[in-house]
Every structure is written in C-alpha cells, then in structure tokens.
Amino acid sequence: MARWHVKDIILVTILAIFMGVIFWVTGPLYTVLGAALAPFGLQPMANDLLLGLWCMAGPLAGFVIRIPGAATLGELLGSVVEMFLGGMWGAATLISGIVQGVGSELGFVLTGYKRYNWLTLVLSALTTTLVTFGWDFFRSGYNKYQFGFMMVLLITRFISVFVFGGVLTKLITNLLSRAHVLSPRANA
C-alpha cells in the first residue's frame, strides 16, 4: 500500500489551501443566501445547499493522491488552514474538518482504495452526506426538526455533495487523466 512522502503531504496541503482560497469567494454567497433564507426559517438550508463545495477537498484529494487517508487529510488540513486564516469558528472548525474528511474517506474505504471511478465518488458522496448529517443531527439540533423538513434538508445536502463532490470532481479528474497526470494505477 502506498505510503506518505513529504511530496504528497505538501501536495495535499497546497490543494487544501487552493480549495480554501476558491471557497473564500463563496463566503459572501453563503452569508447572502443565509440571510435571504433566514426570515423563512430556512437558514440551515444555505448550509446544506453549499456543503458540497466545502466538502470537495476530500474526494478530490482522495482521487488525486490515492493514498489511504488522503481524503481525511485533505479536509482536515483545509480546516486547519481556515482556522489560521481567520475563519470565525477557530479551533472548532477542526471537528467539522475531521467529520467531513472521515465522511468522504469512507467512500474510498468501501472500494478498498482499488477503484477510482464513478462508483467511488457516488459512495463517497453518500457517506459524506450521512456522516455530516449525523453530526448536524446532534450539533445543530437537526433532530428537533419535523420529519418532513429533516428529509428535505438531507436530500438537499446529498444533491449538493453529489453535484460538487461527485459530478464536478469527476469532470475535474477526467481533465486530469486526459492530461496524464494522475497516477498510473488510476486507469488500471
């Protein structure tokens, strides 16, 4: 099984920072969306709608680096970077980072780190959704919602994670494999 070298560690960190910088742009989007939905009691919806974007570093790192733990490390480092660059949740970001990372890692675990294709990404999107939703179930009081609304949030979250962590990640990795920069095991 592949091991971590300093080159991979730098790569996953740089990737995490790149994602962080790109999502910096979505910061205002989240606030505006949240503020627009808040009067209707739909503010958590903004969270669920955009969650996929924040969780993208996981599947992308897992797909590009292909070492067990890459998805977790990608998300975790992303949250470390966010913590130090003035994200307002401070050290508490790390918990979300680990939760999201473990969520997307599970998808890769289920395929034994052997397949890198659609199935992996769909599984990863599914596990990310379930794990992060489970976390919000307790942390953000999602367990106190009416069942119907809870399901709406869950489905919204899955669609978001699927679109960004699945479809967009697949499109990106397609470009990468056409450029022949993914590891050779990729096409095996």
Partner 1 sequence: MNPTLKLTVIVLIALEVSFTQVWTVNVALIVVGLVILLLAHIRLRTLLWLTAVPLFFASALVWSLMLRGNASPHFLIVLFTRMFVYVYLGATFTQTTAPLDLTRSLEQNAKLPSKFAYGFLAAFNLFPKIRAEVATVRAAALMRGQVLHVWSPQLYFKVILTAMTWSEQLADAMTSHGYVEGAPRTYALTIPLRSRDWVYFVGSLALVQVGLCLGLP
Binding site for partner 1 (CB under 8 A): 4-11, 13-15, 17-18, 21-23, 25-26, 34-35, 38, 40-44, 53, 60, 64, 77, 80-81, 83-86, 88-95, 138-141, 144-146, 149, 164, 168, 171-172, 174-176, 179, 181
Nearest distance, CB of residue 114 and partner 1, angstroms: 22
Nearest distance, CB of residue 109 and partner 1, angstroms: 21
Helix axes 70-84, 92-110, angle to 10 degrees: 160
In terms of CB distance, is 17 or 110 closer to partner 1?
17
Q: Which helix (H) or strand (E) holds 9?
A: helix 6-24
Nearest distance, CB of residue 106 and partner 1, angstroms: 19
49: left (phi over 0), alpha (psi -120 to 50) or beta: alpha
Nearest distance, CB of residue 111 and partner 1, angstroms: 21
d(CA 124, CA 112): 12
- Count how many residues are written for the chain: 188
In terms of CB distance, is 179 or 188 closer to partner 1?
179
CA Rg value for the chain: 16
In terms of CB distance, is 155 or 171 closer to partner 1?
171
In terms of CB distance, is 37 or 110 closer to partner 1?
37
Nearest distance, CB of residue 118 and partner 1, angstroms: 15
Residue 86 has a CB neighbour count (10 Å cut-off) of 7
Q: Phi and psi dihedrals of 115, rounded to 5?
A: -105, 140
In terms of CB distance, is 4 or 110 closer to partner 1?
4
C-alpha pair distances (Å), 89 with each of 63, 128, 135 = 28, 21, 16
Residue 173 · residue 64 · CB < 8 Å:
yes
